[in-house]
Structure 1
């Protein structure tokens, strides 16, 4: 079996464009997913059942249904309620919602890992609930949850491949299209695998650097 990578080089501009779309979709969905996940985690750890139960239902529904189904509901079902989204918009929003349920569980575990004594001292010092969250809980738990956040972000990055089904011109869409046109399936799939490997490795290394910096900050 021989590989003909001239197919790849001749379509390099399209491949780079698709790779850029994949990176953008991953970065934005991870950021918004973390933000939404933090809000959801606050609901999961709320004392009131009025807040806690609906949020728990949200998390369970998102985590127990396939992302593909969620994406179809958002993109194809959205117009029935007046929600019209471009493919990339639907993809990013869908990924952010999907990721938020997993990020929320990570943040919830982080909140619960903080020793109660630290919170009691903060209360004695007159800290408000919001101040305790931002100045005590979040800084302390971030050191512990960075690896889990990184793993979830890597998973979201790989899930961008699903966006090709709703015609988002990301890397999988571009390379499978090239493979269909040229029948160079082995070459295009190999490049696709390498690209996702590079993304995962880069995300992992960024996570390690963030973890080291946070550890040094907490040691001060």
Structure 2
């Protein structure tokens, strides 16, 4: 068998469309996961026991079950609970929920890394809890947790391949479909690897740039 690049060039339009769908669902799922994760982390650290206990159970359930099973529950089981979603919104929601618990643990460790002395000083100065979170804890913890956040974002990029199970026309579904039609699996799977390599490498480069920028910003802050 000879590697035939014409298989790829003949289907560049479909591959590009799948690439954009993957990029859209991935970025939307990451934004949703970051938002939910921050809310969960804040609720765990500053909420009462009635709020912490169910959140802890939720985190353990999500962390202990495969993403594929969670995706099936959102898409196929959702209508049983009055939640009927099209494939792409269901995929974004599933990806966001799955990522949120891991983001929450990263945020929680970041919050706890800020020294208690600073929090006590803020309390003595009459700074509210919300102001303390926004102006003291979040800026400092971002420097510490940024590498872990970037790593998790890259992991979620690769998890988008599972979304093809619920008929989302993302990169994996499009490329494997071309492979099934043409029987050119080496060419199509090579293109699939290249597509994910581009996405992951781009997120890693962006993360490195953010680390440099955040580090410079923190160095300029008065101590």
CA distance in 2, matches of 1:219, 1:200: 29
Report the alpha carbon displacement of residue 81 of structure 1 after superposing the two structures with TM. Answer: 2.1
Task: State the Cα deviation string for residues 92-136 of structure 1 (Å, max 9, x = none).
Answer: 000000000000000000000001111111112211000000000
Report the alpha carbon displacement of residue 51 of structure 1 after superposing the two structures with TM. Answer: 1.6
Report the alpha carbon displacement of residue 47 of structure 1 after superposing the two structures with TM. Answer: 5.5
Partner residue of 2:100?
100
CA distance in 2, matches of 1:8, 1:153: 28
Report the alpha carbon displacement of residue 2 of structure 1 after superposing the two structures with TM. Answer: 2.0
Matches within 5 A, 1:183-198: 183-198=183-198
Partner residue of 1:17?
17
Partner residue of 2:81?
81
Report the alpha carbon displacement of residue 44 of structure 1 after superposing the two structures with TM. Answer: 2.0
Partner residue of 1:4?
4
Cα 1:47–1:13 change in 2 (3 A) is closer
Report the alpha carbon displacement of residue 197 of structure 1 after superposing the two structures with TM. Answer: 1.1
Task: State the Cα deviation string for residues 49-73 of structure 1 (Å, max 9, x = none).
Answer: 1121111111111111000000001
Cα 1:206–1:182 change in 2 (3 A) is same
Matches within 5 A, 1:48-59: 48-59=48-59
Verify: 1:32 aligned to 2:37, yes or no. no
Partner residue of 1:121?
121
SS at match of 1:105: helix
Partner residue of 1:110?
110
SS at match of 1:45: helix
Partner residue of 1:151?
151
CA distance in 1, matches of 2:55, 2:78: 22
Report the alpha carbon displacement of residue 144 of structure 1 after superposing the two structures with TM. Answer: 0.5
CA distance in 1, matches of 2:41, 2:81: 28
CA distance in 2, matches of 1:47, 1:8: 53
CA distance in 2, matches of 1:33, 1:171: 21
Q: Where does the alignment leave 5 or more consecutive residues of structure 2 unmatched?
A: none
TM-score, structure 1 normalization? 0.98
SS at match of 1:158: helix
Verify: 1:133 aligned to 2:133, yes or no. yes
SS at match of 1:4: coil
Task: State the Cα deviation string for residues 156-175 of structure 1 (Å, max 9, x = none).
Answer: 11010000011100000000
